[in-house]
Structure 1
Amino acid sequence: MARLKRQICQVVLDYFDKTYTNELGDQWKTVKEVLTTPGLWQYAVLLNNLHCSSETKKQLLLRGYQRLTHHTFPESLDCYISRNPGKFPSQRHQTGRIKGYYILNASSLLPVLAMDVQPGERVLDMCAAPGGKSITMLQCASPGHLHCNEPDSHRSRWLKETLESFVPAPRMNTICTSELDGRLIGRLHANSYDKVLVDAPCSNDRSWLFSSDALQAAKRISERKILPAVQAELLRSAIHALRPGGSVVYSTCTLSEAENSAVVSNILNSCREVIPVDLRDMANTLSHEFTFAAHVTHGLLVLPHKGKSWGPMFVSKLIKL
């Protein structure tokens, strides 16, 4: 409930108004209403198919949740959403106890779905904390090796706690964690992975709107200018880490064109060994649950709307030749 009491930072809101009115036009008005009103936010519940009780499903159905299903979803991906705002109670971390479900923004499923992880593949989650997308990958398939990397020590501890909470000990044998600078992984592990996810550090629009004070807000806006260069370095490193024929998914949770399409365009203009994958079919098939921005270059952009308050989430996919 603490989130509902936080105050919107006017400095950030003014900056977003100027930036996103220019980039999104009239769509920004509806997106702004959702982002600035936490009472409208929806949360999905991803069941842990490695350890889940029928009682949890029963409680979800009683509360009006419905399973998110589509032919593009693996049968093993058991995710429930409610049309109404609000959050299903979270489970506390307890050492030695496996949790039955994970609370997330449903748009977080899309980068993992775009990856299309197959059994036995070597997979890298380059910026993995807090671990939700790593957990989702494990719900979709059984990779031969999953490398979860997070350079920040505090967030790395959070990542390890998430994995311990959702993955039974025998399955942990196929998972490793590290605290490497993602920009170095391409050199350290060249041509090593079938699939890589770069869920890049970004100017998280939801959290930034509730910056604690004007000083923090000004610092974040200043940092926003250098983020695209860092994001491009991470994506370039991911490409080096891929084996030929492998694919990388780049994602963020910001609406910023500079951090989304422009980063991918930068890579495509400077790196001839990758080509973009057209994800419009994914947008078409999932448009009943998600609102997608029109005319986005090199990817998809989920826009929060009333009743579909998922996102922001940008997703792009590249294949290494």
Structure 2
Amino acid sequence: MSEVDSVARPADAVVSAWFRARRQIGEEDRGEIIAALHALLRHQARLGWWLDRHGRKDTHRNRLLAFLTLVERRTPEQMKRLFSGAKYAPTILTEAEHTLVVKLHGGTVDSPAMPEDVRLECPDWAAEALRRRFGAEFATEMAAMLTVPPLDLRVNTLKSTRETALRALREIGLPAEPSAVAPSGIRVTARLSLGRLPGLKDGAIEIQDEGSQLVALLVAARPGDRVVDFCAGAGGKTLAIAAQMQNKGRIIACDVNEGRLKRCAERARRAGLQNAETRLLASETDRWVKRHKASFDRVLVDAPCSGTGTWRRNPDARWRSPQEQGVDNLAALQGRILASAARLVKPGGRLVYATCSLLAEENEDRVAAFLAAHPDFSVVPLAEVAPQLTGSAHPDYLSLTPARHDTDGFFAAVLQRAATPAPSGDAA
């Protein structure tokens, strides 16, 4: 817990590194440790509130004591046995710690005296913007962020079918069902070791939230198309789009992070993709972009963002302010990335702008600013791109939230370039 709080990297990356240094820990125990860590992070503000109420410092150990007492409802006697000081057990409770446990015993983690933002685990930096976004639904949406997400899978249709994958999962006793909307998606509602998943190691299935699958679906790439995934990261959407293309045409995964692109290339090989390649960019204005101006049928910009839509899956993200410069400068970066990537779109081609944010400043506002500066692009309404995607929180764009759709929070807008390019000085 101390490393997660002190290191700027996401909790999953910190935990992975921690486990690599402790290979003796079995898969089942690893799962328990991760689940406990995520549970602590989902209750962080409330536990801190209780500690402050009792005049205690919000240390990692005090937070754990409060969690075990208020959330897991351990009795003082059980806590004494747990904190025994034996090998692999926590050190014995001090007198002050025992007193804290006794004071907290019998209580619940939620209190009517708590401020709403504390009860809903909403950090100060995002509260005002999220209230503007959701209005009367704010509490409902934030409560949904505190639930444990299901495990969503995407079947690689180049190697398997959803029916085959479902059968394999059910044969080992896993409760697996087709995703509500994503055509290649599967939802597993049980907690399990990922090593048990049939098809994961050979690339027949990938772990991918249904919302992320739907964003890839909006790209609507066809066999033979030329496609760019401009902020590809480790390539989850790249793989989904390449499968849509039936291994025909060309998709280029671009990113400024070499490590993520190496991971993308490894996953592409495992998935059996022959139409995917990677391209390391120095920045969003890399010279490669200018050299390939107006060359691609589809360009996806899955922009770096605050990650507010991923809080239920990555509960640590809410406690890390989105980069030191804040949301305003992050939005400015998104605007620059979108404008540069747009140069790659050929006349008549499509640009898809997406984030895993719930903030209008990173979503609708960015699209509006882009359209004002680029009159040769126009919105393609969601009903035209994907009529099967009903219930979006926005009439023209894909807008998913955990409370409304039981997915991570995602936003995506499909923009089309005019078939006849407008005269401009876009030669940068």
- TM-score tier (shorter): 0.7 to 0.9
Provide the secondary structure at the position in 2 that maps to 1:50: coil
Provide the secondary structure at the position in 2 that maps to 1:133: helix
Aligned-partner Cα distance in 1 for 2:322–2:145: 21
Q: Does 1:161 align with 2:266?
A: yes
Residue from 36, 42, 47 that aligns with 2:155: 47
Q: Which residue matches 2:129?
A: 19
Provide the secondary structure at the position in 2 that maps to 1:258: helix
Q: Which residue matches 1:319?
A: 416
Aligned-partner Cα distance in 1 for 2:337–2:277: 19
Q: Which residue matches 2:145?
A: 35
- Please show how residues 186-265 of structure 1 align to structure 2 within 5 Å: 186-205=289-308, 206-207=310-311, 210-211=315-316, 217-218=320-321, 220=323, 222-265=325-368
Provide the secondary structure at the position in 2 that maps to 1:119: coil
Greater gyration radius: 2
Q: For residue 268 of structure 2, what is the amino acid of its counterpart?
A: L
Q: Does 1:59 align with 2:168?
A: yes
Higher relative contact order (CA 8 A, sep 6+): 1
TM-score, normalised to structure 1, is 0.81
Provide the secondary structure at the position in 1 that maps to 2:264: helix
Aligned-partner Cα distance in 1 for 2:230–2:194: 26
Q: Are the aligned partners of 1:60 and 1:80 in contact in 2 as well (CA < 8 Å)?
A: no
Residue from 224, 234, 242 that aligns with 1:138: 242
Aligned-partner Cα distance in 2 for 1:212–1:112: 23
Give the C-alpha shift of residue 191 in structure 1. Answer: 0.9
Residue from 173, 184, 187 that aligns with 1:81: 187
Once the two structures are superposed, residues 41-82 of structure 1 have per-residue CA deviations (whole angstroms, 9 ceiling, x without a partner) of: 123211122224876421334533222476xx7xxx532125
Cα RMSD (Å):
3.0
Q: Which residue matches 1:304?
A: 402
Once the two structures are superposed, residues 6-39 of structure 1 have per-residue CA deviations (whole angstroms, 9 ceiling, x without a partner) of: 41464962333322112211222122112123x2
Aligned-partner Cα distance in 1 for 2:290–2:301: 16
Residue from 177, 180, 197 that aligns with 2:278: 177
Aligned-partner Cα distance in 2 for 1:279–1:147: 25
Provide the secondary structure at the position in 2 that maps to 1:255: coil
Q: Are the aligned partners of 2:235 and 2:267 in contact in 1 as well (CA < 8 Å)?
A: yes
Once the two structures are superposed, residues 223-248 of structure 1 have per-residue CA deviations (whole angstroms, 9 ceiling, x without a partner) of: 32211111111111222101100001
Task: Identify the range of structure 1 (265-274 vs 146-155) with the bigger mean alpha-carbon deviation.
Answer: 146-155
Aligned-partner Cα distance in 2 for 1:158–1:228: 27
Q: Which residue matches 2:392?
A: 292
Task: Identify the range of structure 1 (225-234 vs 174-183) with the bigger mean alpha-carbon deviation.
Answer: 174-183
The number of equivalent residue pairs is: 297
Q: For residue 157 of structure 2, what is the amino acid of its counterpart?
A: N
Q: 1:203 to 1:65 in 2, by over 3 A?
A: same
Q: For residue 174 of structure 2, what is the amino acid of its counterpart?
A: R
Q: Are the aligned partners of 1:45 and 1:88 in contact in 2 as well (CA < 8 Å)?
A: no
Q: 1:137 to 1:60 in 2, by over 3 A?
A: same
- Aligned-residue sequence identity (percent) comes to 22
Give the C-alpha shift of residue 218 in structure 1. Answer: 4.3
Q: Are the aligned partners of 1:98 and 1:164 in contact in 2 as well (CA < 8 Å)?
A: no
Q: For residue 64 of structure 1, what is the amino acid of its counterpart?
A: P
Provide the secondary structure at the position in 2 that maps to 1:224: helix
Q: Are the aligned partners of 1:246 and 1:320 in contact in 2 as well (CA < 8 Å)?
A: yes
Structure 2: unaligned runs, 5 residues or longer: 1-30, 46-120, 419-428
Aligned-partner Cα distance in 2 for 1:231–1:262: 11
Give the C-alpha shift of residue 104 in structure 1. Answer: 1.2
Provide the secondary structure at the position in 2 that maps to 1:250: strand
Q: For residue 393 of structure 2, what is the amino acid of its counterpart?
A: A
Q: 1:163 to 1:89 in 2, by over 3 A?
A: farther
Aligned-partner Cα distance in 1 for 2:265–2:243: 17
Q: Are the aligned partners of 1:252 and 1:313 in contact in 2 as well (CA < 8 Å)?
A: yes
Q: For residue 18 of structure 1, what is the amino acid of its counterpart?
A: E
Q: For residue 210 of structure 1, what is the amino acid of its counterpart?
A: P
Once the two structures are superposed, residues 198-244 of structure 1 have per-residue CA deviations (whole angstroms, 9 ceiling, x without a partner) of: 01111112359734896xx3463643221111111111122210110
Give the C-alpha shift of residue 312 in structure 1. Answer: 0.4
Once the two structures are superposed, residues 120-154 of structure 1 have per-residue CA deviations (whole angstroms, 9 ceiling, x without a partner) of: 01010111122111111122223411101111122
Structure 1: unaligned runs, 5 residues or longer: none
Once the two structures are superposed, residues 70-118 of structure 1 have per-residue CA deviations (whole angstroms, 9 ceiling, x without a partner) of: 6xx7xxx532125x4x4565359xxxx6322111110012222211111
